[in-house]
Chains A and B, each alone.
Chain A
């Protein structure tokens, strides 16, 4: 079945870049997503990438996709304390209806 894996924790200093990594198993994944969850809140979409792309940039966020290795990464430039949150990688297949989430990576930003 589909599986999405992420490391659980990442700690960076304010102003540094953060790179959160994710691997997935479903080769038919069509869209890959990054969601952010702040304490006590629901998940919020940050960005997504179509599987025929290898990079997408949106302000401080850069998504890299290596489809051959089924590896997705999210780079946050100039990380701020407000970026402290849990970041979820997710994928949906051709049908697109079921979105499968990873366990989430908790990002700590030290001032």
Chain B
């Protein structure tokens, strides 16, 4: 497996523009997570899905952020309109849970977003 695939790797946009980040999880994984990493706040969990269904979106900062998972092999994180404070590295991670065992996350390489 090629691992968790994220695109784009880098995105530079202007304030007010729409940004869409994409993620392809590892085939067969049933959980998908979106994290945001900044120097100030570290690694924050934004939202996670189980079997394509959003389970907890309490970490989504504002209504400007939305995430979807239309099928088991694709998820998007959308920011509309974008603001400079959204500048961060956005990570997608997936996992396969077995019972109540450890939640071992496999991360993608991240999408670095810069909003000017």
Residue in contact with A33 in the complex, picked from B33, B42, B102, CB distance below 8 Å = B102
A43 near B102 (CB under 8 angstroms)? no
Could you tell me if B31 and A97 are in contact, using CB atoms closer than 8 angstroms? yes
Verify B42–A97 contact, CB threshold 8 A: no
In the complex where A40-B109, A42-B93, A42-B109 touch, is A97 in contact with B103 (Cβ < 8 A)? yes
Of A33, A41, A94, the residue contacting B100 (CB under 8 A) is: A94
Q: How many residues of B contact A (CB 8 A)?
A: 25
Which one of A15-23, A59-67, A101-109 is at the B interface?
A: A101-109
- What is the CA–CA distance of A45 and B31 in the complex, to the nearest angstrom? 16
User: Which of A43, A92, A102, A103 contacts B91 (CB under 8 A)?
Assistant: A43
Bound Cα distance A36, B34 (Å): 18
Contact A88 B43 (CB under 8 A): yes
Chain A interfacial residues counted at CB < 8 A: 24
* A-contacting 9-mer, from B11-19, B48-56, B61-69, B79-87: B48-56
B77 at the interface (CB under 8 A from A): no
User: Which residues of A55-93 have CB atoms within 8 Å of chain B's CB atoms?
Assistant: 88, 92
Q: How long is the Cα–Cα vector from A50 to B99 in the complex, in angstroms?
A: 14
B-chain residues with CB within 8 Å of residue A50 when the two chains form the complex:
102
CB pair A96 B97 closer than 8 Å: yes
Task: Give me the 10 closest cross-chain CB pairs, A-B, nearest first.
Answer: A42-B107, A103-B42, A101-B43, A31-B102, A43-B107, A96-B103, A92-B103, A48-B102, A42-B109, A42-B108
